[in-house]
């Protein structure tokens, strides 16, 4: 099996989160660019931008624009939760 850089990065990120939790720190999130998310969930980046963003994945819940800029970073843990659980009324209320 060949491990991609994104997959290895995700494993390292999860390990760092586990360490932070054990130390009592606030949960560390994994931030992914559109291209990294595309590689992780096996969807084309264009599909993420044009069909999922702002219809299934919402700003402030599933992604942020750091420092008020144009760049979008997806919060992996919340995207993964959405994929596993689907859209809930709770996620809509958070918007």
The span from the CA of 7 to the CA of 4, in Å, is 5
Cα 2 to chain center, whole Å?
A: 23
> What pLDDT score was predicted for residue 16?
59
pTM of structure: 0.65
DSSP 8-class letter at 27: P
Per-residue pLDDT tens digits for 80-90: 999 998 766 66
> What pLDDT score was predicted for residue 81?
92
Strand partners, 74: 32, 63
């Amino acid at each position: 099996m060949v491990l991609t850089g994104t997959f290895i990065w995700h494993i390292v990120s999860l390990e760092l989160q586990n360490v932070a939790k054990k130390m009592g720190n606030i949960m560390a999130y994994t931030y992914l660019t559109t291209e990294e998310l595309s590689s992780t969930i096996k969807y084309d980046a264009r599909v993420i931008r044009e069909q999922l963003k702002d219809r299934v994945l919402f700003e402030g819940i599933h992604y942020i624009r750091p420092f008020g800029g144009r760049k979008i970073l997806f919060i992996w843990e919340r995207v993964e939760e959405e994929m596993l659980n689907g859209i809930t009324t709770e996620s809509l209320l958070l918007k």
